[in-house]
Amino acid sequence: MSKGKVFQSLSGFYDIISDGKIYRTRARGNFRKRRITPLVGDEVEFQSNSLTEGYLLKVFDRKNSLVRPPIANIDQAVVVTSTIQPNFSSNLLDRQLVALEINNIKPIIYFTKIDLLDNDSLNYFNNIKSIYQNIGYNVIMSNGENDIESLKELNKCFKDKVSVIMGQTGAGKSTLLNKIAPKLNLPTGEISSSLNRGKHTTRKVSFLKMNGGLVADTPGFSSYDTFDIRSDELRNYFPEFKRNADKCKFRGCVHINEPKCEIKKLLDDNKLSHERYNNYLQLYKILKNKKPIYNKKK
């Protein structure tokens, strides 16, 4: 018996990487009865007499998992964020960040298409970069002339980590992957069709090896469409709120109408982003009005 990580899932086969070698396996027959579906990224136990034939025997507990792409045990996510074409949406970015915070996945914000900005817009995004860096997020942005340094910075982040790439359609995910891994020699069109959301339900999910780490090559990500949390839990997924909440008068303060709220005070002093707070209010309202789901299947 050996231990490894599911590297690729395709048509009922699970390729497992262990000690630098990749073994092709099938899941045990009782997995389906027990409703266990192995995911790419799973830490597993397997038995194999050769690289081409073996059985996946056990899936160990996951620290997190995503639905789209179906992947587990992610350390970090690169949130590819377009500055223009499509235009930047702080609301979308904050939803993505909340989704990652809920799943305990470290975000890396990567701004694209900086070279298309005029000076005023560039100044605006330098300010946006500062806001998110002050919150504690890792933000990568090129200087607008070339993105060699920003790509190097991103590549360093992949070292010994399991990463997934996410972002809205048109944000430049496929172009970014091509720049990071030119040795793969994948045409942009091919990447686009395989990486963007499609109508196909049976798609290959696999990792790319990058700088000693693993990067999921299926960055479609829709977990931020709806959050399975209560409205009063949302405050815990805005790091700048969470670290200042102990100074609020009320322990259960949700930073909206309560008196002597530290978050409202920081907003009045312009020490927190008003735009992010407005996104928080909008998300809070959506969650507050969401009807509870009874008899939910686990």
pTM score: 0.85
Check whether 200 is labelled as a binding-site residue.
Answer: no
Q: Is the pLDDT of residue 240 over 70?
A: yes
Same domain, 53 and 111: no
Note the pLDDT tens digit of each residue in 30-39.
888 888 899 9
Quick one: average pLDDT of 220-237? Answer: 77
81 is in an annotated binding site: no
Q: Which residue has the higher pLDDT, 297 or 137?
A: 137
Picking from 17, 33, 61, the residue at the C-terminal end of a domain is 61
169 labeled binding residue: yes
pLDDT at 285 over 60: yes
| 248 lies in the same domain as 283 | yes
Residue 279 in domain? yes
Tell me if 296 is assigned to some domain.
no
Q: Is 202 annotated as a binding residue?
A: no
Which of 43, 61, 79 represents a domain boundary (last residue)? Answer: 61
Would you say residue 186 has pLDDT above 70? no
The response to whether 198 counts as a known ligand-binding position is no
Distance CA 276, CA 261 (A): 17
In angstroms, rounded to a whole number, what is the distance separating the alpha carbons of residues 257 and 236? 17
- Ligand-binding site membership of 167 (annotated): yes
- Provide the 10 A C-beta neighbour count for residue 176: 22
170 known member of a binding site? yes
Q: Does residue 221 lie in a domain region?
A: no
Does residue 294 lie within any of the structural domains? no
Query: Taking residues 102-109, what's their average pLDDT?
Result: 94
Are residues 77 and 204 located together in one domain of the fold?
yes
Has 157 been labeled as part of a binding site? no
Range of the domain at 260: 231-289
72 is in an annotated binding site: no
- Give the pLDDT band (50/70/90) at residue 83: very high
Whether residue 141 has pLDDT greater than 70: yes
Give residue 120's pLDDT: 95
CATH number of the domain at 283, please. 1.10.40.50
**pLDDT at position 223 over 50:** no
Tally of structural domains, the chain? 3
Is 166 found in the same domain as 267?
no
Residue 172 labelled as part of a binding site: yes
Answer yes or no: do 102 and 179 share one domain: yes
Higher pLDDT, 294 or 73: 73
Over range 65-81, report the average pLDDT: 88
Q: Are residues 49 and 136 in the same domain?
A: no
Query: Residue 16 maps to which CATH number?
Result: 2.40.50.140
Q: Mark whether 26 and 132 lie in a shared domain.
A: no
The verdict on residue 22 lying in a domain is yes
Per-residue pLDDT, averaged over 143-153, amounts to 83
> What's the CATH code of the domain at 143?
3.40.50.300
User: pLDDT higher for 293 or 248?
Assistant: 248
Contact 195, 173 (CB under 8 A): yes
Residue 37 annotated as part of some ligand binding site: no
42 is in an annotated binding site: no
Cα separations (Å) of 147 from 80, 129, 195, 226?
Answer: 14, 16, 22, 33
Q: What is the pLDDT of residue 292?
A: 65
Looking at the fold, whether 113 and 8 belong to one and the same domain comes out as: no
Kindly state whether residue 298 falls inside one of the protein's structural domains: no
Q: Is 229 annotated as a binding residue?
A: no
Residue 28 amino acid letter: R
Structural domain ending residue among the three candidates 28, 61, 94:
61
Cis omega (within 30 of 0) for bond into 86: yes
- Mean pLDDT, rounded, for 123-145: 93
Higher pLDDT: 127 or 143? It is 127
278 and 196 in a common domain: no
Number of other residues whose CB lies within 10 A of the CB of residue 58: 15
Q: Pairing between strand 106-112 and 138-141?
A: parallel
**Mean pLDDT for the chain overall:** 86
In this structure, are 115 and 132 located in the same domain?
Answer: yes
Residues 74, 212 share a domain: yes
Q: What is the pLDDT of residue 218?
A: 55
Rounded mean pLDDT, 87-116: 93
How sure is the predictor about 42, in pLDDT bands with cuts at 50, 70 and 90? very high
Q: Look at residue 225 and tell me if it is in a domain.
A: no
Q: In this structure, is residue 135 part of a structural domain?
A: yes
Is residue 266 over pLDDT 70? yes
Instruction: State whether 15 and 117 are in the same domain.
Output: no
